[in-house]
Amino acid sequence: MEQRVLGRSGFTVGGLGLGTMVLGRWGNTDLAECHRIINRAIDAGINLIDTADMYGEGENEQIVGEAIRDRRDEVVLCTKFHHPVGAHDDPTRRGNSRRWILEAVDDSLRRLGVDHIDLYQAHRPDPEVPLEETVEALTDLVTAGKIRAWGTSTFPAEDITRAHWIAERTGGKPSVSEQPPYSILCRGIERDVLPTARQLGIGVVCWSPLSGGWLTGKYRRNEPAPAGSRAATNPDHFDGGNDAKFDAVEALAAVADDAGLSLAHLSLAWILEHPAVTAALVGPRTEAQLDDLLGAADIQLSSDVLDAIDEIVAPGTSINPADAGWTPPGLAPAQRRRSSPS
């Protein structure tokens, strides 16, 4: 598998990374198979393993830690903070405040069973906390040796730039990566996030490259979602009535057929063509799914194929804006309307 440098982190990673969210109670509950999936991925050349403290209320980090216990030095271990871990209403146990970051990192280290995290990522922006506070806390964690580097996930371009400026101005440690949603069906980051990452030398690791399963071809118009699919297990996050997506997927499947590729392989290879992208996260639920996805690692698409894809979904556009993964607070009615006179 081709190796790429992740921004200015010093880490070298494969073009495919392993996203582990569906290993455990949020997907595959066979823990032995979960461990096999992780180790098979490492054997195949995947060395970036990505989890988050919230996945399965902490269980996912434990699964990852157990699987890599004897292979820690082979892995670039990534996890995230921001969301609450489990169901609770305590506002101090979430977000990007210094208080929560310092507590959350120790919880993650304990669950993972390691003495340091390679890449610690802010899972979402936190408008309630000054970005200066977050950058300072993460800088202190690098200095303390608890993390090697830090990054962001689903941050807008302006916050990525601001974090870089803050670190530069204060002598802090700058972000080395951004983890945005990116797929043929969700191309909004081409307008700003990807150019910003290239300009600042920030690595990009993409989540949802197959658009929640849409780009595997498993979903059919007017048919129920297959058992065990993301649409079946998380129907509240699946826009199954989106005819525009079905239109695009059907057209993309024809392009894939003409190129002699599966739709999933076409979609992953397309992401890895972008010069700002370091890696794409695949999230297999079974060993068979992993084996299939690995075949996309070394595919290169011709200009004709890339042009055909652009004709179906134009550069910089997203068919469903909700796929962006985060809604800026400035779009809320209270932020857009002056108070009515009494």
The closest alpha carbon to 19, from 121, 101, 100, belongs to: 121
- Catalytic residue (one of 55, 120, 182, 219): 55
Which amino acid belongs to residue 255?
Answer: V
Name the 3-class secondary structure at 3.
strand
- Quick one: tokens of 82? 């921001």
In the numeric block, which tokens belong to residue 273?
A: 């063509």
Distance CA 328, CA 113 (A): 35
φ and ψ at residue 247, rounded to 5 degrees: -60, -45
| Residue 224 half-sphere exposure toward CB, CA atoms < 13 A | 5
Whether 123 and 81 have beta carbons less than 8 Å apart is answered as: yes
Buried b (16+ CB within 10 A) or exposed e, 280-302: bbbbbbbeebbebbbebbebebe
Whether 55 is a known active-site residue: answer yes
Tell me the β-bridge partners of 206: 280
DSSP H stretches of helix in 21-146: 31-43, 59-67, 98-112, 131-144
Give the Cα separation of 48 and 45 in Å (integer). 9
CA distance 146 to 18: 22
Q: Nearest-CA neighbor of 66 among 104, 31, 16?
A: 31
Which residues are catalytically annotated? 55
